[in-house]
Structure 1
Amino acid sequence: MGWEIFGEQTPPSYNDQIASGIAGSFLGEPLFRMAHLVLNGPGGLSRPWREAIAAGISPSLGFTRLTFGSRFDGAFVDNDPVYYSRLRLGVARAAQDNLGTSRDLERDEAVIDFALDYGLPGKDGYTYRRPFDYFSFHAAASTANGVETLATRGLLFGTDYAIGDTVRGLWGLYGSYDYLAPQIFNLSTTALSLGTTGQWWASERLALQGTVLAGLGYSAASTLRRTTEDRDYHYGVAPRLSLALRLIAGDRASVDLQAQKYFLGSIANRAAGRDDITRVDTAFNWRLHKRHAVGVKYVWSHRDANYPGAGNRSQTLGTVGIYYTLLGADGFGAVEWREPAVH
């Protein structure tokens, strides 16, 4: 960072301006709020442990607290959001692959996977007046490829809504950052999208949560572990579609589906080629006891690319995993706003 600020003599690239600046804010604010949850949330952690974990999540917050103590504790009030969190530990194996111009696929890997949904709609009195009063964060790492996923999306400007007694939601302008690296390729994108997040009580015990987004971003994609010497790197403006669903069956089970689609090169810089990238992540979780659950997961990543002089290229990787899951204090995250008489 110091070199980029003081050492480089050339004008900053679009990637530097967008990925380093805007994406840094889209990622930094969720990290700050997660650190704040650790400092003030429920649980039996001692104060020194809370301070250490919060500093690890948000080093800037940790430095501020180390320097000034509790002087700025009142500067941010989170208004007690409803949130869903889970931590997965498990193993995965490649069940489907088409490496294309990539190589050295590791078929078996150990995986750690963390996700947090913050500010879920449905709580009386909770408002969405500030950027990232709602956000979703996801990070995953594996022994095969290091950081495999780092993604966040948050409401920048919008409001909440209600439909009858069974639907609560929010809609507006979202900001997102996605980094995907499933061994065969990597993708980075920073985007603005219009969309909605909501929850529908389909029955007394069955709830459906979801987010639907459509927007435009600045993306970069390339092959990992290339077998060729040609320059396989593409960046530019890219439309983006995103769908996230969670079906919750009481406090016993949940089914998750997440899908993203990126169309790199379909609007600008067409002469440089195109990349169509799809990512689908599905999981089933079964709670065993209290916060402990087990799950199975299938992840499918696909890339169709076309470059001048290189022709069409296709890459696919599908992995199946078995996981132990540690749920957060709110179980599977269903928000209850209904009066007891309703059910």
Structure 2
Amino acid sequence: MERLIKTFKAILASLIVAATISMGGQAFAQEGEISGTVKDHKSDQGIQWVKIKVKDITAGRVVATGVTDAAGNYSVVIPVPGKYSLEASKRGYGYARVKAPDLIELSDTIPKQTVNLLIGGEEWLKYDPDVPESAMSWETGAGKSYLIPAMEIPTFLLLLNGYNRLAYSNLEENGEKVYDSSWSTFRSHLFHGPWGIDTDAFNINQFAHPYQGSMYQGFARSAGLNYWESLLYTNVGSLLWETAGETTDPSVNDQFASGIGGSFFGEVLFRMASLVLEGDGGKPGFWREMGAAIISPPTGINRLAFDNRFKPIFPSHNPATFSRLQLGVSLKSDLNDRSAASSTIDTEATVDFTMAYGLPGKPGYSYKRPLDYFHFEFISLANPDNPFDSIMIRGLLLGKDYDAGDSYRGIWGLYGGYDYISPHIFRVSSTSLSLGTTYQWWLTRAVALQGSVLGGVGYAAAGNVKQEGERDYHYGVAPQGLVGLRLILGERTMFDLTGRSYYLTGMGGDDPGGREAIGRLNMGVTVRVYERHALGLIYIVSVRDAQYPDRADSHQSTGTISLVYTLLGKNRFGAVAWGNYGNSEWY
């Protein structure tokens, strides 16, 4: 019996020791941790969606993975003590996998370690060692191509001209078929011109041509070129179309709209497509690739045609964003038009998409690249005669951020803009440069005011929908201004108001005696009902006063009230939190 008792005690002691060791191992598993921050080597700002991988040096296997949050912070739990290596990588920052400079040792006495890393820089590899044929890096510029877009743009123009020859084979001007261009017409236009103002329809000159310019911009950007290099390609592409794409004389208005307006349009589409590709990190799947290609077709073409070479995704640097999709119907319209054939507007379904990219106040975000801030709005109507009500773009080309006290953050500088507005009975479109500011001001810790104030000059087109003379609109230099405000009341309600004004002179056009003053005011209220779902009420009023020496003065106005369902983006109302202001969980 005594031997049995001793044996039992020995077994019990062994079990206690084993349990203690096991509990100690479990305690480490709960507390063992490697954490830190990953920042961009140039801007010193935290980078979101960086992949973190921890490898056990002894076992030679990966034991933990993680991903950085919006501020670039990460934390990974380590199951057992030992020696580890850590590496970080992110698509769009080249293909290198930056490693912690030293081995990381965790033990019972030191269960936690902090490791901070920088990503990007000249030392990053020019290609993925696992996929040697890939070559482009957005950070170093390695692998970008000047030749590929220089071939793609003329090819695109040849295909477009060929399509137009077939689709519009009977279209003539001055006794010549418009698209039967040749080497002779190209040489004549290039060296002798004459440059003038063309008579194409408003939607062709002011929407189709800028979108055509956005294709040139997209081919260059998706091949790795920066904005300014791509702007040159876009203007050369526009010049080629004006001189070689048609038999009609080259036009100044198209060069502005396609070459400059198209570059603003194309850059915004390229940025939004890149955001879709970035997603929440990881390799883009079929639907993300498809979505990006729909937004920016040249980006999709280059990613598909050149396989891994152009697969790296343009790094957004994690901007603060606001986006919303509105679906609704106009319930009431007011019309005052002395010259239109009809005095009524039918009730119409509407679709409105808005995105603000790079809102000021995001800690660590910088404005070193053109259009690191932009605002984009697109409104479509269920009207076959006027499907595109408006496309409005403004973006910071050159500027910097600033602050005023603890509660105010802003950016100021030179903005580029492209507007196309067509409210039923008249229309206006402008490609512009403006000086101004965009800001956010926390009025209280839960109430924020966002806004923009811009003033500048553009080359614009404006006119009546009803045909008067050879063309139903006129060109000229146009001083213009914008005031935009958005009041955000916590996580529940948002009021927004945007006013635009244009004063079209006859300078630079073919009607030097004419003048037009156009204004547009957009007011709305949005109430969040559940998570990202909201309801809204919108009122839009547009006014035009025109004076021309060869016709009666014209006064036109139209107003529409719409009830809309709103799907908010993941940041909901888009208020940017910093310090003690705001709550990042709301947004």
Q: Same fold (TM over 0.5)?
A: yes
SS at structure 2 position matched to 1:125: coil
Which residue matches 1:125? 364
1:246 counterpart = 2:486: yes
Which residue of 283, 294, 310 maps to 2:551? Answer: 310
Counterpart of 2:450 in structure 1: which amino acid?
Answer: Q
Output the aligned Cα RMSD.
2.2
| CA gap 1:230/1:75 in 2 versus in 1, 3 angstroms | closer
Query: Deviation string for 1:127-152 (max 9, x for gaps)?
Result: 10110000000001001320001111
TM-score, length basis structure 1: 0.94
Paired residues of 1:186 and 1:224 also in contact (CA < 8 A): yes
Deviation at 1:242, TM superposition (A): 0.5
In structure 2, what is the equivalent of residue 155 of structure 1?
396
* In structure 2, C-alpha distance between the alignment counterparts of 1:136 and 1:330, rounded to whole Å: 15
- Evaluate the alpha carbon distance shift between residue 309 and residue 133 of structure 1 in structure 2; reply closer, same or farther with a 3 A threshold: same
- Give the Å deviation of 1:78: 1.2
Contact 2:454 2:482 survives alignment (8 Å): yes
1:125 Cα shift?
Answer: 1.3
CA distance in 2 between counterparts of 1:245 and 1:45 reads 37
Larger radius of gyration: 2
Q: Which residue of 1 aligns with 2:338?
A: 100
CA distance in 2, matches of 1:112, 1:43: 29
Q: Which moved more, 1:37-46 or 1:132-141?
A: 37-46
Within the candidate set 492, 495, 510, 1:255 is matched to 495
- 1:136 is matched with 375
1:21 counterpart = 2:21: no
Find the counterpart in structure 2 of residue 205 from structure 1. Answer: 446
| Distance change (3 Å), C-alpha of 1:199 and 1:85 | same
Label 1:230 to 1:93 Cα distance change in 2 as closer, same or farther (>3 A). farther
Aligned 1:179-328 pairs, distance under 5 A: 179-226=420-467, 231-265=471-505, 271-328=512-569
> What is residue 174 of structure 1 aligned with on the other side?
415
Distance 1:274 1:29 in 2: 32
Using the TM superposition, give the Cα deviation of residue 233 of structure 1 relative to its aligned residue in structure 2, in angstroms. Answer: 1.8
**1:41: Cα distance to partner?**
2.2
Give, in angstroms, the shift of residue 324 of structure 1. Answer: 0.1
Number of positions where the alignment pairs a residue of Structure 1 with one of Structure 2: 341
Which amino acid letter does the alignment assign opposite residue 275 of structure 1?
Answer: E
Alpha-carbon distance, 1:297 to partner: 0.3
More strand by share: 1
Partners of 2:366 and 2:387 in 1: how far apart? 37
Q: 1:298 touches 1:318 (CA, 8 Å); kept in 2?
A: yes
Show the counterpart of 1:79.
317
**Which 10-residue stretch deviates more, 93-102 or 302-311?**
93-102
- Measure the CA separation in 1 of the matches of 2:282 and 2:547: 53
Deviates more, 1:75-84 or 1:213-222: 75-84
Q: Distance in 1 between matches of 2:492 and 2:485?
A: 17
Structure 1 residues 292 and 238 mapped into 2: Cα distance closer, same or farther (>3 Å)?
Answer: same
Cα drift, residue 126 of structure 1:
0.9
Q: How far, CA to CA, are the matches of 1:30 and 1:340 in structure 2?
A: 30
Unaligned runs of 5+ in 1: none
Among candidates 62, 86, 102, match of residue 300 of structure 2: 62
CA distance in 2, matches of 1:229, 1:106: 25
Q: Secondary structure at the match of 1:311?
A: coil
Residues 103 and 184, structure 1, Cα contact 8 Å, conserved in 2: no
| In structure 1, distance between residues paired with 2:449 and 2:299 | 35
Q: In structure 1, the residue corresponding to 2:309 is in which secondary structure?
A: coil
Q: Deviations over 1:34-74 (max 9, x none)?
A: 00111112499982111111101000101011112343243
Distance 1:20 1:160, change over 3 A: same
* Contact 2:445 2:580 survives alignment (8 Å): no
> Which residue matches 1:89?
327
**Quick one: which amino acid aligns to residue 324 of structure 2?**
R
Tell me if the contact between 2:328 and 2:565 (Cα under 8 Å) persists in the aligned partners. Answer: yes
Compute the displacement of 1:229 (Å). 5.7
Contact between 1:234 and 1:272, CA under 8 Å: does it hold in 2? no
Query: CA–CA distance in 1 between the matches of 2:250 and 2:531?
Result: 51
| Deviation string, structure 1 residues 233-275 (Cα, Å, up to 9, x no partner) | 2111000100111000011010010110000017665733111
Aligned mates of 2:283, 2:351 — CA distance in 1: 22
Q: Match for 2:400: what amino acid?
A: T
Question: Deviations along 1:74-103, whole A, 9 cap, x unmatched?
Answer: 362211111000000000034311123223
**Higher alpha-carbon deviation: 103-112 or 310-319:** 103-112
Q: 1:210 offset after TM fit, Å? A: 0.3
Residue type of the partner of 1:157? L
Q: Secondary structure at the match of 2:268?
A: helix
Question: What code does the residue aligned with 1:72 have?
Answer: F
Match of 1:41 among 276, 279, 295: 279
* 8 Å contact kept, 1:94–1:317: no
CA contact (8 A) 2:333 2:561 kept: yes
2:350 is matched with: 111
Relative to structure 1, is the Cα distance of residues 88 and 312 closer, same or farther in structure 2, using a 3 angstrom cutoff? Answer: same
Structure 1 contact 23–177 (Cα < 8 Å) conserved: yes
Distance (Å, rounded) in 2 between the aligned partners of 1:35 and 1:99: 40
Q: Structure 2: which 5+ residue stretches go unaligned?
A: 1-156, 162-178, 180-240
Deviation at 1:106, TM superposition (A): 2.7
Contact kept? 2:445, 2:582, Cα under 8 Å: no
In 2, the alpha carbon distance for the partners of 1:103 and 1:84 equals: 40
Worse-matched range after superposition: 68-77 or 55-64: 68-77
Identify which range, 185-194 or 96-105, moves more after superposition: 96-105
Q: TM-score, normalised by structure 2?
A: 0.56
In structure 2, relative to structure 1, the CA distance for the partners of 1:334 and 1:7 (3 Å cut) is closer
Question: How far apart are 1:341 and its partner, in Å?
Answer: 11
1:109 deviation in Å? 0.6
Residues 285, 212 of structure 1: alpha-carbon distance in 2 compared, 3 angstrom cutoff:
same
Counterparts of 1:62 and 1:244, CA distance in 2: 33
